[in-house]
Amino acid sequence: MDVKYRIIFYQNRRGDSPVDEFLDSLEKRPRAKTLKWLALLEEQGPDLPRPYADVVKGPIRELRVSFGRLEIRLLYFFYRRRDIIVTNGFLKKKQAINTTELERVMHCRGDWVKRHGG
């Protein structure tokens, strides 16, 4: 597999990683499938098509993993062309993405750019 992009899990100033915590909360098989989809994202970047990935709003995108009745979502953005910053994950229960999750990824993106340069 030719890796063209680099997946980075967002960490806040304390070193906490919401996406790591979310992945740890998943059962073994859904977590394995989610990690497989992350590898596809790392390989294909913005060219990863639906149903795997989609644009949410502006620069914010989502990785869409279905496992049985679980709808797993990881939110991310691109930084400096090749870096994919994955900020948080959640189980989607409604058609639209929860406003709290969208606010969280926007906050994380602002923090990332502030700490790593725009």
Domain borders along the chain are 6-116
Q: Are 86 and 8 in contact (CB under 8 A)?
A: yes
Q: What is the mean pLDDT of residues 78-104?
A: 91
Pick the CATH number of 6-116 from 3.40.50.20, 3.20.20.10, 3.30.2310.20, 3.30.300.30: 3.30.2310.20
Per-residue model confidence (pLDDT) at position 118: 67
| Joined tokens for residue 92 | 């989607």
Query: What's the CA gap between 57 and 105, in Å, rounded?
Result: 11
pLDDT of residue 25: 97
**Nearest one of 112, 43, 37 to 71, comparing CA atoms:** 37
CA atoms of 85 and 74, how far apart (whole Å): 10
Query: Which pLDDT does position 94 carry in this prediction?
Result: 81
Residue with tokens 């229960």: 93
pLDDT band at residue 1 under the 50/70/90 scheme = low
At residue 99's C-alpha, the angle toward residues 65 and 24, to 5°, is 40
Sign of CA dihedral 59, 3, 14, 100: positive
Q: Could you read off the pLDDT of 28-68 as tens digits, one per residue? A: 999 999 999 999 999 999 999 999 999 999 999 999 999 99
Distance CA 55, CA 6 (A): 19
